Every structure is written in structure tokens, then in C-alpha cells.
Amino acid sequence: MSSTSPKKHVIVIGGGIFGASTALHLARGGAQVTLVTAGSLANGASGRSIAWLNSSGARSAEYHYLRLLAIDRYRTWTAHHPESRHYIQFNGAMKWAAPGKTFRDTYAFERHHGYESVWVEQADVAAVAPDVNAEAVAEEGAIFNPGEGWVNMPDFIPVLVAEAVATGADVISEAGDVRVDVQDGIAVGVILGSGTRLFADEVVLATGGDVPAQLAALGVTVPDRTTAAFVLLTDPVDVEVKTVLNTPRVAVRPTPDGRLVLDSDWAEQTVLVEDDGSFTVPRESVQGLLEEASKVLAGNPRLTAHHVAAGLKPIPGDGLPVVGSIPGIPGLYTVFSHSGATLGLILGELLAEEILTGTPSPVLESFRPDRFGSNDPAHEALGTGAWEPVRQ
């Protein structure tokens, strides 16, 4: 990366994949970087993600292209960091439609756009994915995407941050409620939970589901569909699971230590947000996910819960990434998106390059904060409007 301002000081707020990736790429580019986290690394949405690496399904050409670049960056990372193959795997993923639905159009769309997609008849499932229970697959068959995979964020994020530190970055963790410091309409640094002010040339807000509220406090509106969600981590299983599964009732992916991570839309909808902001996951939802996961795995193994992690699932209002400079507040940037696992490396790289060179990336043109209208705090804030759901 070429930098025209090698000594520029940038503070990045957020210890998830976007914060870690942006900090690393800024440090590599020659910036003076301070990564500030409210708590510990990966303690937010990144640490409780199914972390499926994909560009599955129907997407706009611009978004599909971005996600293909994103997956490419993971392959490059594994080529240069052989040890990462323990926590980044590309063993393919399988998905099938719910009763009464079909994935034939999805398959046709993927093939039309050159995405590696194989239609698998129910009778052939065992030959393609022996860890999948063929009887659970839709009668019409399933889609297998050989190039998809997964990443285990609690392993990956500390590696990114350690490399950033080795390149010269500083890290301040457990900093409490960190706020952007705006003076005379310009972002000049951050205010830590202790009240301490840190000054910088630029600030990056990468705090997941908290981004919209933090921007709103500065008079900036970003449409938001962030919701409560949870993932379930099982105890170690006796069967080897390699394939990522995205099924009508449960999503499944393995972990490096032989466990499984589970989630599902129906289960997420049962999460209770308490008056104090904490999250409660009904026992029935936990048991339901375990049962659904057992059904889709070969041999129907008995699964038990080890840990449930609940919190906010970041989703912009139109389902697409929000990346770049904030109009009306010079010096402030943000990166806010669903599918953080897939997009983590590429968005951190492209945003860092924009900050260092001052040149906007054409790849991010469709994903800038100003697409929602004027976000200048001096103007009337934009309403959220109506947005179509986008499945990630």
C-alpha cells in the first residue's frame, strides 16, 4: 500500500474484525495507529459469529464482486500464514431450501455469475459431503459451494492485532465507553471511559451494532436493522464435521477444537432484550438448535451445549456495508456491516488505503455512508425509510 502521509495518527475504535483489520492495514501502510477497545478483543459480534466465508445467493454485481475479493484475501492470508489453516478452512458449504421452496433459481443465479456452485441430488449427498445426513436434505437436492469456508474469529482477531502491534500499533483495551471527540465539527480524537482524551488526525468507528447509535449522538443518521442474536457453541463432538451447513432450521460450522457453532433465524427471534440491556436466550431455543443440528448431521450425533453468546447482530438498514468517510464530520470514518467475517480483511484494507492516500476506492463506491442522503449534522437528519431485507 502506498502512503502519502506515513506519520498520520489514526485511532481505530473497536476490537472486532473490522477494527483489527483496519488497524493492521493502517500500520502496514506507515500510519501511527492506536486501536482502542471498550472491552477485550473479539468480545462483540465478531466473537459470536457463524463466520461463514461466502458470496452465496443472489446479490448485486458490486456486492458480489466485493465478497469475491474478500474471500480471495483469506486465501492469500492462509498462503502467507500456513499456521492459520488451523482456524481458516475452505472445505465447502451446503445449503438447501425449506419445504415448499426451491433453490433452483439460486443455483441458476450463482452459475450465471460464475460462482462455483454444484447441484447435488439427494442420493449423491454422501459422496460430496459425508458429514451431512442425506435424509435431512430437501427432496429436490442441495447446492454445494466448494470454494466456501469458515474462520474462527476468537483465534484470528488476536493474530491480526499482534501483527499490527509488531508493525508499530498501540492497543488500549478495556477502555470502557469510548466516544468520538468532535470539536468545531471535526473529529480530533476519542474520549475514553475514564474521561481521558486521545488526539489523532483521523478516527475510525468500527464498533459493530453500536455504530448507528454512536453516529446518531453526533447528529448523523445511518439506517439500521441491527437485531439481537445469539450463537451456540457445543461441547466437542465425536464425529468429524467439515462442511458448513446453511439449512432451513439451523446453520452449522466446525471449530478448530472439534466443537460446532450453531445459529438460526428462528432462534434469534426468541432472544429477549431486558430492560438493563442484557440478553436472555430461552432454554427451549438452545435445545431446539441442538436437535435441529443433530438432524442434519450424519449419524444424528447427540449434541450438548457448552456456551451461549448473545448480543447485537450488526445489520445496516439496506443490508449492505456502510464504509468510508462521514459527510459533515471531517476526520471521521466508519465501517459497519453484516457478514463481518467474510468482509473483514478486504474492508479493513480498502478503508485503510483511502485514509492513507486520500483517494476513494472505486470498489467501495456503492457502499458509502452518503448514499442515504445528506448526513451533515447541519442539515435535517434523514429518516430510515423502508428497506428490503438482504440475507447474508
Summarised one tens digit per residue, pLDDT across range 132-170 is 999 999 999 999 999 999 999 999 999 999 999 999 999
pLDDT tens sequence across 321-361:
999 999 999 999 999 999 999 999 999 999 999 999 999 99
Instruction: Answer with the residue of higher pLDDT: 377 or 313.
Output: 313
The answer to whether residue 380 scores a pLDDT higher than 80 is no
Residue 386's pLDDT band, with cuts at 50, 70 and 90, is: very low
Q: Which fold has domain 1-89+148-223+318-392?
A: FAD/NAD(P)-binding domain (3.50.50)
Which amino acid is present at 105?
A: D
**Distance between CA 139 and CA 226 in Å, rounded?**
34
pLDDT tens sequence across 16-62:
999 999 999 999 999 999 999 999 999 999 999 999 999 999 999 99
Model pLDDT, residue 6: 53
Candidate from 191-195, 209-213, 257-261, 372-376 with smallest mean pLDDT? 372-376
Q: Which residues pair with 232 in a beta bridge?
A: 262, 308
* Residues 6+ positions from 202 with CB-CB distance below 8 Å: 8, 9, 10, 11, 187, 331, 332, 333, 355
For residue 89, give the 3-state DSSP assignment.
strand
Closest of 40, 54, 150, 73 to residue 352, by C-alpha? 73
**Distance between CA 33 and CA 37 in Å, rounded?**
13
Count H helices, E strands: the chain?
A: 9, 22
**Distance between CA 251 and CA 306 in Å, rounded?**
17
Average pLDDT over residues 115-140: 98
Closest of 32, 330, 325, 358 to residue 183, by C-alpha? 330
* H-helix or E-strand spanning residue 245: strand 244-246
The answer to whether residue 392 scores a pLDDT higher than 80 is no
Say if residues 345 and 157 touch (Cβ distance below 8 Å): no
Q: How does the average pLDDT of the chain come out, rounded?
A: 93
Superfamily of segment(s) 93-146+227-313: D-Amino Acid Oxidase, subunit A, domain 2 (3.30.9.10)
For residue 357, give the 3-state DSSP assignment.
helix
pLDDT tens sequence across 271-312:
999 999 999 999 999 999 999 999 999 999 999 999 999 999
Measured from the Cβ of residue 390, the count of other Cβ atoms closer than 10 Å reads 18
Say if residues 373 and 382 touch (Cβ distance below 8 Å): yes
* Residues 6+ positions from 329 with CB-CB distance below 8 Å: 182, 185, 186, 187, 218, 220, 377
Residue 373's pLDDT band, with cuts at 50, 70 and 90, is: confident
Model pLDDT, residue 313: 96
Beta strands in 272-371 (DSSP E): 272-273, 279-280, 305-313, 322-325, 332-336
The answer to whether residue 228 scores a pLDDT higher than 60 is yes
* H-helix or E-strand spanning residue 368: none
Closest of 161, 151, 42, 24 to residue 86, by C-alpha? 151
Q: Residue 86: phi, psi to the nearest 5?
A: -70, -35
Q: Which residues pair with 313 in a beta bridge?
A: 227
Q: pLDDT over 70 for what percent of the chain?
A: 94
Helix locations, 253-324, DSSP H: 265-268, 283-296
The answer to whether residue 203 scores a pLDDT higher than 60 is yes
Model pLDDT, residue 3: 46
Domain residue spans of the chain = 1-89+148-223+318-392, 93-146+227-313
